[in-house]
């Protein structure tokens, strides 16, 4: 493990830590009170690992890739996140100097989090600062951002009700909820032009209002690729194609990162995955007019553990665990029961995985996995 995976922050007596803007990375850092900066340096005299010392208007990064440097507080989360989570080799590429202090090229996005927030699964963008709040008030948040000259003045993020809401500072009605992955993907774009927030908001609303509806129980019929009915207990495979032109895939090069012509869904262990070997043999069973897919007499279901993968269980899935089956012309698609979005596939060096996206991603129907049901 690299020496850059953990760090300590020394806080001299004359520094008011409460006046220093907070960062999400603070949860992974040890804060140590000392009398002076010199005491911190003496405590670390025999160490070559990095550490930090707070001053009132800047902080000091000791044993950095450039030795001892002074840094801007607005860039603290970015600097410490790069230090703790990534190789220090990127230091010179990530940061530059301004007014004698190291700074990030991005003004930090302000995240408003509920007081006592302890969700360790939250991933904020590196260029960020954190403000903890007692009561939710978007207009108050917007005014606070306007008064924080060193931060991103175009938008902010508020966490509430298990969601992240991205809000334009000068027009708080222009907002949209994002997942963690969406924030990381779209934050740089939105920071350049907040009009994108409105575009994404309209896009998400259109998706949710026009999502495919579930047929009433008893009306859905499982069919094969030729349009013939599939009876309960009848065996079949689920195949999907990567290219319409069926581009050649030899598989001879172990580092060939191209995709195969087609693959099948397989149950190699406890969760479903794509396979180049044709895939597993499935059956179906209709209970109370609802069609369930089965493998080895176990039911396929979507785990409600945050990973949204298809797994097996011996008993009948609960409603929130069911798979919703529907057709895109003659191709079968999966979604979660009464939820938006569909099944996706990712492929890398002859292996892959299938999964559902979270409910409030920007485009939950983008690149849906469509399946061809082939009877055995």
Q: Are residues 113 and 191 in the same domain?
A: yes
What are the structure tokens assigned to 199, written together?
């575009």
| Residues 239-265: tens digit of each pLDDT | 887 643 333 233 334 334 454 567 788
Give the pLDDT confidence score for residue 253 in this predicted structure: 40
Q: In what order do the strands lie in the sheet with 30-34?
A: 30-34, 8-12, 51-54, 59-64, 67-71, 101-103, 96-98
Average pLDDT over residues 135-146: 96
pLDDT-based confidence at 6, cuts 50/70/90?
low
User: DSSP letters along 150-215, please?
Assistant: TS-SSEEEEEETTEEEEEESS-TTSEEEE-HHHHHHHHHHHHH-THHHHHHHHHHHHHHHTPPPPP
Q: Are residues 154 and 249 in the same domain?
A: no
Q: Is 370 domain-assigned?
A: yes
Q: Domain boundary at 71, 103, 135, which?
A: 103
| Residue showing tokens 């997942």 | 179
Helices (H), 180-334: 180-192, 195-209
Q: 278: domain CATH number?
A: 2.80.10.50
Q: Are residues 118 and 175 in the same domain?
A: yes
pLDDT-based confidence at 332, cuts 50/70/90?
confident
Domain with 142 in it? 109-209
| Residues 102-126: tens digit of each pLDDT | 998 888 999 999 988 876 656 677 8
Give the pLDDT confidence score for residue 293 in this predicted structure: 95
Quote the mean pLDDT of the chain: 79
Q: Is 229 domain-assigned?
A: no
| Residue showing tokens 């790069």 | 82
Average pLDDT over residues 187-198: 69
Lowest-pLDDT choice from 169-173, 224-228, 245-249: 245-249
Q: 141: domain CATH number?
A: 3.40.50
The angle at the Cα of 106, spanning 102 to 107, to the nearest 5 degrees, equals 90
Indicate whether 232 pLDDT > 90. Answer: yes
Q: Is 219 domain-assigned?
A: no
Contact 148, 135 (CB under 8 A): no
Is 0.75 topped by the overall pTM? no
| Residue showing tokens 């220090």 | 88
Total domains in the chain come to: 3
Q: Are residues 291 and 266 in the same domain?
A: yes
Contact 52, 10 (CB under 8 A): yes
| Residue showing tokens 């774009």 | 189
């Amino acid at each position: 493990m690299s020496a850059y995976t953990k760090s300590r922050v020394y806080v001299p007596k004359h520094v008011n830590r409460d006046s220093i803007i907070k960062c999400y990375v603070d949860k992974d850092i040890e804060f140590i009170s000392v009398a002076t900066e010199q005491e911190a340096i003496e405590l670390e005299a025999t160490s070559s690992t990095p550490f930090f010392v707070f001053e009132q208007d800047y902080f000091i990064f000791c044993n950095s890739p450039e030795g001892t440097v002074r840094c801007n507080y607005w860039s603290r989360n970015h600097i410490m996140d790069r230090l703790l989570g990534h190789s220090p080799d990127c230091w010179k590429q990530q940061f530059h100097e301004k007014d004698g202090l190291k700074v990030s090229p991005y003004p930090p996005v302000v995240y408003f989090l509920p007081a006592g927030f302890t969700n360790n699964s939250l991933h904020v963008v590196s260029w960020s600062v954190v403000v903890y709040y007692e009561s939710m008030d978007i207009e108050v948040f917007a005014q606070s951002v306007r008064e924080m000259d060193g931060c991103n003045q175009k938008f902010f993020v508020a966490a509430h009700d298990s969601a992240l809401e991205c809000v334009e500072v000068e027009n708080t009605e222009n907002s949209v909820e994002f997942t963690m992955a969406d924030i990381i993907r779209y934050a740089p774009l939105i920071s350049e032009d907040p009009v994108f927030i409105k575009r994404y908001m309209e896009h998400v609303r259109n998706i949710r209002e026009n999502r495919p509806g579930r047929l009433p129980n008893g009306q859905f019929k499982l069919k094969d690729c030729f349009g013939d009915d599939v009876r309960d207990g009848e065996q079949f495979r689920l195949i999907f194609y990567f290219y319409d032109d069926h581009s050649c895939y030899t598989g001879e090069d172990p580092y060939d990162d191209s995709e195969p012509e087609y693959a099948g869904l397989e149950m190699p262990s406890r969760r479903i995955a794509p396979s180049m070997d044709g895939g597993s043999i499935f059956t179906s069973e209709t209970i109370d007019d609802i069609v369930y897919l089965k493998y080895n007499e176990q039911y396929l279901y979507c785990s409600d553990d945050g990973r949204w993968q298809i797994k097996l269980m011996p008993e009948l899935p609960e409603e929130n665990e069911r798979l919703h089956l529907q057709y895109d012309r003659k191709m079968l698609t999966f979604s979660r029961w009464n939820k938006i979005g569909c099944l996706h596939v990712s492929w890398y060096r002859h292996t892959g995985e299938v999964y559902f996206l979270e409910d409030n991603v920007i485009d939950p129907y983008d690149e849906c996995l469509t399946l061809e049901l082939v009877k055995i």
